[in-house]
Amino acid sequence: MSLDWSLFTTNQFVPNYRGLNTQADVTVTKWPLNPGAGVMMRWNYGTRSFQIPLVLTLSFTDFMRIYAGPVITIGSCSLPATDTEIRASFFPGIAGVSFSLPSFTQGDVKVRIIQDISYTVFNNTDGAALSFIESATAGLVFSTGVRVTFPLSMFTK
């Protein structure tokens, strides 16, 4: 679970609340690069929409993971801090990188503090690209939160 935030709107440079985010992943951990797949559920307060990204992930270590995939958006979107209507893109949808601190471990369960940086694609309502600043305002989001990791074997016993 994480809290989403950003550093600016189209009019000002100020930290602002962007919503809440939760994610569930399945990752194969038998190689140095760990592939996986996941689903997120994001209430994007900034764009006033609910989003469901479906992502493929690749973990390099316990401390860094990249992800990308399409995004299902429910609701109409607007440019943060304005009434300007924009449209979410299904594909390409989202790309991001997640960093985490060393885990607190209790048995097989690991708890980590995470910092995530993601970019979600938005367009004008006619499908044309947004300006650079509008695109960054709508799509660039930071997430700070907690990740809980446990082995699949906890469910198969």
Is 50 within a domain?
yes
- In a 3-state reduction of DSSP, which class is residue 86? strand
Residue 130: domain span: 2-150
The position carrying tokens 């992930």 is: 57
Is 83 within a domain?
yes
The pLDDT, as a whole number, for residue 146 is 96
Is 94 within a domain?
yes
The pLDDT, as a whole number, for residue 150 is 83
The pLDDT, as a whole number, for residue 155 is 75
The neighbour count for residue 145, using CB atoms within 10 Å, is 18
Is 157 within a domain?
no
CA dist 131 and 138 (Å) reads: 11
Whether 157 has a pLDDT exceeding 70, the answer reads no
Number of domains in the chain: 1
What is the residue-wise DSSP string for 15-81?
A: EEEEEEEEEEEEE--SSSSEEEEEEEEEEETTTTEEEEEEEEEEEEETTEEEEEE-EEEES-EE-TT
**In this structure, what CATH number is given to the domain that contains residue 140?**
2.40.160
**CB neighbour class for 123 (10 Å; exposed up to 12, middle 13-18, buried from 19):** middle
The pLDDT, as a whole number, for residue 98 is 96
Supply 117's token pair: 């940086």
Is 90 within a domain?
yes
The pLDDT, as a whole number, for residue 156 is 77
Residue range 120-141: average pLDDT? 95
Percentage with pLDDT > 70 across the chain: 99
CA torsion, ordered 77, 80, 85, 89, to nearest 10 deg: -50
- Which range among 104-108, 110-114, 138-142 shows the weakest confidence by mean pLDDT? 104-108
User: pLDDT digit string (tens) for 19-64?
Assistant: 999 999 999 988 889 999 999 999 999 999 999 999 999 998 889 9
CA dist 94 and 88 (Å) reads: 10
